[in-house]
């Protein structure tokens, strides 16, 4: 039967216990790190004292679920739940606990169980939900001196070294409802899922992206590739004819299974979709051959796409061309690069 924590330790602390000379080193409260799996119950995390310069008791406060946070997210998003706190020395349980050091230590033993003073150790217990996402969950709490002597006599504040609960969690289901993007819409109006820094590359029936999913409803896996794959580069071709100019637009592909690929070129109020028929594995840039990865800056690029815009008259050298790469995924969805390349002849 769990007991309500008695605060007897605080009462028995004596001023005479304060040493005349403080021990060297920081007065530290250290939290162990543990590995566990989604669904584990009562995962044990040990908390212990290092370099206590005397018989000081410290109090761990606010050891609550709200104090636990997934790395990089808001505290309120925590999934890990504190179930109990146990102090072995006096067999007490509670959300607030006292940790007392009964001996002066200068270094941490290899394991908490190596301590001869049970008062140095507190055990925290946590439940891990079945759907916990893989990651490191930080264990944190406030630390106070139970009788103020520690804060009064220590030259440095009490330091907390947080631990982590590493969870080998359940892999989240990355499939999406295709009907939210296709459904009853005409093909030209199909929507695409988005992911930061990526571009959509098609729907698949499996998460290895081997079987194309062509249905307009149902669950499927969206494939994404680095947005750099679809970026557009532009070159101006040198010519002795100063009355005309040629611009070449360059982009890349990660695979050859797209139904179509090319460039969308907007000039003034007119937009033209130029489909390409050939791809290349290198291209000459200022006299140097470049691979697809060198062109885009992404290792995912495997093929180069090109389109030349020729016979641009001198009167239009200041006119801007807005160019986006596009492809039609194996399932038929039209995708455009995240940003357009805006160029004119006089820029080169």
Question: In this predicted model, what pLDDT tens digit does every residue of 285-331 receive, in sequence order?
Answer: 777 899 999 999 999 999 999 999 999 999 999 999 999 999 999 99
Q: What is the pLDDT of residue 109?
A: 35
Domain total in the chain? 3
In a domain, 14, yes or no: yes
If asked whether residues 152 and 194 sit together in one domain, one would say no
Pairing of strands 34-37, 163-168: parallel
Q: What is the pLDDT of residue 42?
A: 87
Residue 127's pLDDT band, with cuts at 50, 70 and 90, is confident
Residue 128 has pLDDT above 90, yes or no: no
pLDDT, averaged across the chain: 76
Residue 101 has pLDDT above 50, yes or no: no
In a domain, 89, yes or no: yes
- Separation in Å, CA 141 to CA 42, 68, 221: 18, 8, 40
Q: What is the pLDDT of residue 1?
A: 36
Q: What is the pLDDT of residue 296?
A: 94
In a domain, 182, yes or no: yes
If asked whether residues 46 and 160 sit together in one domain, one would say yes
Task: Outline where DSSP puts E strands in 169-259.
Answer: 176-177, 198-204, 219-226, 233-237, 244-253
The domain spanning residue 18 has which CATH number?
A: 2.60.40.680
Model pTM score: 0.56
Q: Where are the alpha helices (DSSP H) in 167-245?
A: none
If asked whether residues 205 and 236 sit together in one domain, one would say no
In a domain, 3, yes or no: no
In a domain, 275, yes or no: yes
If asked whether residues 13 and 160 sit together in one domain, one would say yes
Q: What is the pLDDT of residue 97?
A: 52
If asked whether residues 145 and 15 sit together in one domain, one would say yes
If asked whether residues 149 and 209 sit together in one domain, one would say no
If asked whether residues 56 and 155 sit together in one domain, one would say yes
In a domain, 1, yes or no: no
If asked whether residues 254 and 188 sit together in one domain, one would say no
Q: What is the pLDDT of residue 95?
A: 53
If asked whether residues 186 and 96 sit together in one domain, one would say no
Q: What is the pLDDT of residue 46?
A: 83
Of 209, 225, 241, the residue at which a domain comes to its end is: 225
Summarised one tens digit per residue, pLDDT across range 35-89 is 988 888 888 888 876 665 555 555 555 444 333 444 444 444 456 767 777 766 6
In a domain, 150, yes or no: yes
Of 133, 168, 203, the residue at which a domain comes to its end is: 168
**240 contact partners, CB below 8 Å, separation of at least 6:** none
State both tokens at 271: 């937009």
State both tokens at 223: 């494939």
If asked whether residues 108 and 69 sit together in one domain, one would say yes
Q: What is the pLDDT of residue 121?
A: 74
If asked whether residues 218 and 243 sit together in one domain, one would say no
User: Helix (H, G, I), strand (E, B), or coil: what is residue 32?
Assistant: coil
If asked whether residues 106 and 207 sit together in one domain, one would say no
Question: Could you tell me the residue range of the domain that residue 304 belongs to?
Answer: 228-347
Residue 90 has pLDDT above 50, yes or no: yes
The domain spanning residue 271 has which CATH number?
A: 2.60.40.10
Residue 107 has pLDDT above 80, yes or no: no
Of 141, 168, 195, the residue at which a domain comes to its end is: 168
Q: What is the b/e burial string over 123-151, where b = at least 16 CB atoms within 10 angstroms of the residue's CB?
A: bbbbbbeeebeebebbbebebebbbebbe
Q: What is the pLDDT of residue 78?
A: 55
In a domain, 304, yes or no: yes
């Amino acid at each position: 039967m769990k007991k309500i924590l008695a605060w007897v330790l605080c009462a028995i602390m004596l001023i005479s216990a304060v040493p005349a000379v403080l021990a060297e080193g920081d007065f530290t409260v250290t939290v162990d790190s543990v590995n566990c799996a989604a669904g584990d119950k009562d995962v044990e995390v040990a908390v212990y004292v290092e370099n206590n310069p005397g018989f000081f008791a410290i109090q761990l406060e606010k050891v609550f679920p709200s104090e636990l946070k997934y790395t990089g997210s808001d505290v309120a998003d925590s999934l890990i739940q504190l179930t109990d706190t146990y102090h072995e020395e006096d067999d007490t349980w509670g959300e607030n606990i006292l940790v007392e050091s009964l001996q002066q230590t200068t270094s941490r033993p290899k394991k908490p169980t190596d301590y001869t003073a049970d008062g140095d150790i507190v055990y925290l217990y946590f439940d891990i939900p079945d759907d916990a996402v893989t990651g490191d969950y930080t264990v944190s709490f406030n630390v106070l001196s139970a009788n103020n002597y520690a804060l009064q006599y220590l030259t440095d504040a009490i330091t907390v070294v947080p631990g982590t609960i590493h969870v080998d969690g359940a892999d989240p289901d990355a499939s999406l409802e295709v009907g939210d993007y296709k459904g009853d819409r005409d093909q030209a109006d199909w929507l695409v899922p988005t992911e930061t820094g990526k571009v959509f590359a098609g729907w698949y029936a499996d998460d290895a992206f081997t079987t194309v999913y062509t249905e307009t409803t149902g669950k499927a896996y969206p494939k994404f590739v680095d947005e750099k794959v679809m970026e557009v580069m532009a070159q101006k071709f040198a010519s002795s004819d100063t009355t005309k100019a040629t611009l070449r637009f360059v982009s890349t592909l990660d695979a050859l299974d797209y139904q179509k690929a090319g460039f969308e070129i907007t000039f003034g109020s007119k937009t033209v979709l130029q489909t390409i028929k050939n791809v290349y594995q290198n291209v000459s840039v200022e006299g140097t051959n470049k691979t697809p990865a060198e062109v885009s800056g992404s290792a995912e690029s495997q093929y180069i796409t090109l389109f030349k815009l020729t016979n641009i008259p001198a009167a239009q050298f200041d006119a801007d061309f807005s160019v986006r790469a596009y492809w039609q995924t194996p399932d038929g969805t039209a995708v455009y690069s995240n940003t357009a390349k805006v160029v004119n002849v006089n820029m080169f």
